[in-house]
A and B are shown apart, each in its own frame.
Chain A
């Protein structure tokens, strides 16, 4: 199975900060990666598909990059509503696998 290693597991940041989260795949997955946001008590929601494409309706401060084994989610200017947990998901090879998650907290 493909392992997704996500880092950091948590971070503290202030409103307006630039935030970067990384996922590394144990083998190449092309661009078959999505980024999801989850708020407490709610189901997740995808922000980015195909590694770098913004899901419709998602603010442009969210961006994704990478291919192969290394991927990045960037929030260019953190907003109060962005404090949440973020997960990557590879869907190149079944079983699909999620990263462990990154909790973004208020500094």
Chain B
């Protein structure tokens, strides 16, 4: 069974840093791009970042570029999101996800989400 479990969310002051983690299991982790998606309270989904199977390619939304860093440890089946210079507008539930953009019907999987609250 595929599982994605996020952790690391919490309350942080504006300008602070936080690292989110996502533990993956039930699939061959190093065969998949992995993603972070966020959702502010009562708002829509925002694609935040993605990382290639081997970690060599990464992509970011403009709103987080230069402040957030995605990484992965294929030996531990973990993906991370290091967030710095946090702003109130970064307050959201952050989801870890797999197979977001599939052209082959490969099923998408999401974690349960972890809440990040940035206080000003």
Are A and B a genuine interacting pair, yes or no? yes
Residues of A that sit less than 8 Å from B by CB: 1, 31-32, 34, 36, 38, 43-46, 49-50, 53, 55-56, 85, 87, 89, 91, 94-101
- Judged by DSSP, the binding face of B is loop
A34 touching B47, Cβ below 8 Å? no
- Complex Cα distance, B101 from A96, in Å, reads 8
Contacts of B104 in A (CB 8 A): 49-50
Contact of B105 among A1, A53, A95 (CB under 8 A): A53
B108 touching A45, Cβ below 8 Å? yes
A89 touching B47, Cβ below 8 Å? yes
With A44-B110, A50-B103, A89-B100: A94-B45 Cβ-Cβ less than 8 Å: no
Q: Does B26 contact A (CB under 8 A)?
A: no
Contacts of B77 in A (CB 8 A): none
Contact of B61 among A32, A36, A95, A100 (CB under 8 A): A95
CB of A93 to closest CB in B, whole Å:
10
Q: Does B102 contact A (CB under 8 A)?
A: yes
